Amino acid sequence: MNYKNFPMVPRVVFGRGSFNQLEEIISPKRLNTKAPFIYLVDDVFKGNTWLTSRIPIAYNDKLHFVSADEEPKTSQVDELVEKIILEGSERPSGIIGIGGGTILDLAKAVSIMLTNNGSAADYQGWDLVKNPAVYHVGIPTISGTGAEVSRTTVLTGPDKKLGINSDFTPFDQVVLDPELTKDVPKNQWFYTGMDCYIHCIESLNGSYINAFSQSYGEKAYSLCKEIFVEDNLSKQESQDKLMMASWHGGMSIAYSQVGVAHAMSYGLSYLLGTKHGIGNCIVFDRLEDFYPDGVKLFKEMKQKHEIELPKNICADLSEDDYNTMIDVALSLEPLWENAIGKNWKKKISREKIKALYQLM
Ligand code: NAD
Ligand code: ZN
């Protein structure tokens, strides 16, 4: 057995208002006055001076608003890197991502591609990155994905949706300020929060489970229950706890793996552009056979929070479309092995996956 030796985020600050400490935190990391910090900020915050006025821009620092309407693409990473290189004379002192999983993943990928040649697409896979990334900071503004703590940055490339998984991917610094999540719309709060819940269910019920993953997964699971089922927390407590649930859920899958919902959700995302949180919900809602207890509780939470999932999203698909989604889903072999066990190929068929997609 060869156990994974994986890196963790070396520095993290937690607390409401901790975003105000950003200047103090990053100042020592400034290489010189010509080497800027580059801020990648979700464009939902454009004109939101409550947040933007606290971004400590100095010297040649730059702020780019980036849309989170679509999930990050390798071409988008390449364009951002080119822009940063062309607009500055020196390699940046750091990249700072402020937003949800979409922006956090972009920040991680850009920081890697500033020190590694070629296109981001060349590094989709496991341990292909050669040089350490530029210093990078993650500041989540919505909770659930675990992207703030993970060793991957999920990108859609010309021929696959796959992460850049490497020891250089995790953030050097994370700022967890739950107050930044206060204006997340309810549906999005549920979808991204359920990403965390589904991480827990898939990790805790998978064959890769071990005491490390279980300890984090159980904590995240019980926090999700407090937030989404019991629901007697104040708004602030709920925001604080969901931010920590996301962190623990991310830590849990770091040392285990996700499962069927994620594999099939990648298929939807690749073909239809369905975003991660809502895509996971659409798939998970149909996975009673794989995760009976987890799906039962999911349906209760959905009802309690009056969430209506989109229906019939696969209604007009061709045979080729189904095959594309099934190919993407089945290519994620470790996810199936984790969910179903070593001989998963004997237990799951293309027809079964197609039948599930047809229900969505
Ligand atoms: P997101 O970043 O896509 O954002 C969802 C929506 O919420 C956007 O419209 C965004 O503008 C809005 N939003 C974010 N913060 C807000 C705030 N404070 N107030 C109001 N609106 C706000 O959402 P997400 O679910 O966090 O991220 C999904 C992405 O994360 C996907 O691209 C997925 O692939 C990736 N992901 C990565 C990992 C990883 O380990 N790297 C894990 C899971 C998911
Ligand atoms: Zn996920």
Q: Is the CB of 181 under 6 A from ligand 1?
A: yes
**pLDDT tens for each residue of 32-80:** 999 999 999 999 999 999 999 999 999 999 999 999 999 999 999 999 9
Q: Is the CB of 150 under 6 A from ligand 1?
A: yes
**pLDDT tens for each residue of 222-246:** 999 999 999 799 999 999 999 999 9
Residue nearest to atom 39 of ligand 1 (CA): 147
- Rounded to whole angstroms, the Cα distance separating 249 from 231 reads 19
**pLDDT tens for each residue of 83-118:** 999 998 789 999 999 999 999 999 999 999 999 999
Q: How many residues are given for the chain?
A: 360
pLDDT value at residue 27: 98
Alpha-carbon torsion angle 181, 151, 41, 273, nearest 10 = -90
- Rounded to whole angstroms, the Cα distance separating 181 from 143 reads 7
Residue spans of alpha helices (H) in 88-231: 101-113, 186-204, 211-224
Q: Is the CB of 100 under 6 A from ligand 1?
A: yes
160 pLDDT band, cuts 50/70/90, is confident
Query: In this structure, which CATH number among 3.40.50.1970, 1.10.10.10, 2.60.40.10, 3.30.365.10 belongs to the domain 11-181?
Result: 3.40.50.1970
Determine the atom of ligand 1 nearest the C-alpha atom of 105: 41
List the structure tokens of 129.
Answer: 């990155």
**Under a CB-based contact definition with an 8 Å cutoff, are residues 256 and 213 in contact?**
yes
| Across 244-269, average pLDDT | 96
Ligand nearest 44 Cα, by number? 1
List the structure tokens of 113.
Answer: 């591609």
Angle of CA points 49, 53, 58, to nearest 5°: 150
Say whether pTM exceeds 0.95. yes
- Rounded to whole angstroms, the Cα distance separating 322 from 147 reads 29
- The better pLDDT of the pair 161, 187 is held by 187
Residue ranges per structural domain of the chain: 11-181, 186-358
**Under a CB-based contact definition with an 8 Å cutoff, are residues 286 and 298 in contact?**
no
- Give domain 186-358's CATH architecture: Up-down Bundle (1.20)
